[in-house]
Amino acid sequence: MQSFFLKIKTLISNIYSTSHFIKAVQRFDNRLGNHFGAAISFYSILSLIPILMVIFAIAGYMLSSDTSKLFLIINEMIDSLGNDRLSDSLKSMLNTAIQQRTSVGITGLIIALFTGFKWIGSIREALCAQTRNVWEQDHSQKRPFLKQHLIDFIALIGMVFILIISIILTTLSHMADDSIHNIMSMLNLDVSEEISVSFSRLVSMMINIVLFMWIYWLLPQKKFKLITIFLGSLYAAIVFEILKLLISQTFPLINNTLSGATFGSIFALMIFFYIFARIILFFAAWIATAKE
């Protein structure tokens, strides 16, 4: 009986994709991926409000002119969250950002730089732990202080920039959906809602790939081939898109309960950031264990 299971194990190990996945799981677990994920999720929540302040201030400058179409689309995106309290809070923040965009932006930027450095630093340390050859950290191989903080700053600015581009492209994709529907209606052609959703999801997927490639290319000290980083980023983007889909489906159900209406938003946010952090670290382990 033991020889039978040994043959099965050998057969599975000979399949590269399966053995690679198992090695990635083992590395992720042995190098405390879950613990690092919890630390990243904490700093993510801590950094969320000031980063939102900066984004809303930028949106405030964009919406301060007569851009009613853009304003309506952003309101629709906020309403789609499925939580009336959260939607009302975000709309209130957006209105405040429009009226006080300069003070909100400066205050948010100062706080975001402090919390953002902590956040990006925790991601970097976790990625280095997953990707370096040995688990123990060799302090002699650490980057110089100024160089490290410059890289962290570039990474932080890049991630915020990608996030802003994500919001803009998502908004434009919604506008494109409306235009496509109008054109098809004029031509008496029927376009299913699934096509519009697929278009928006494709745009989101492309942005996610760029985001993950930026993280895996810049932050780890050990460098990998671009094709390996791309494949890891592609798989991470697919899993991340599935995560967003699951949360969008389950979030309204949680909010229908009494406790969910009170704590649902916080609970969903914590779960989202924790799983997002684990996705980043697991596919970092996948990249580190790939045959280049």
- Which residue did the predictor score with more confidence, 168 or 80? 168
Q: How far is CA 138 from CA 2, 75, 134, 148, in A?
A: 41, 50, 9, 15
* pLDDT tens-digit readout, 101-156: 677 778 777 887 788 888 888 899 999 999 988 877 666 667 777 888 888 888 88
Q: What is the pLDDT of residue 168?
A: 65
- DSSP label at 192? -
Contact 173, 200 (CB under 8 A): yes
Share of the chain above pLDDT 90, in %: 17
Share the mean pLDDT of the chain: 76
Task: Pick the range with the lowest mean pLDDT from 69-73, 139-143, 243-247.
Answer: 69-73
pTM of the model: 0.74
> Each residue of 135-156: b (16+ CB within 10 Å) or e?
eeeeeeeeeeeeeeeebbeebb
Question: Can you tell me the mean pLDDT for 42-68?
Answer: 72
Residue 124 structure tokens: 């970097």
Q: How far apart are CA 188 and CA 237, in angstroms?
A: 36
Q: Quote the radius of gyration of the chain (alpha carbons, Å).
A: 22
Q: What is the pLDDT of residue 247?
A: 77
Residue reference for tokens 């399949």: 15
Q: How far apart are CA 52 and CA 56, in angstroms?
A: 6
* pLDDT tens-digit readout, 146-198: 888 888 888 888 887 877 676 666 666 555 555 555 555 555 555 555 555 56
Q: What is the pLDDT of residue 212?
A: 92
For CA atoms 76, 78, 83, 88, give the dihedral sign. negative
Task: Pick the range with the lowest mean pLDDT from 39-43, 187-191, 252-256.
Answer: 187-191
Question: Can you tell me the mean pLDDT for 36-60?
Answer: 80
Q: How confident is the model at residue 282 (pLDDT cuts 50, 70, 90)?
A: very high
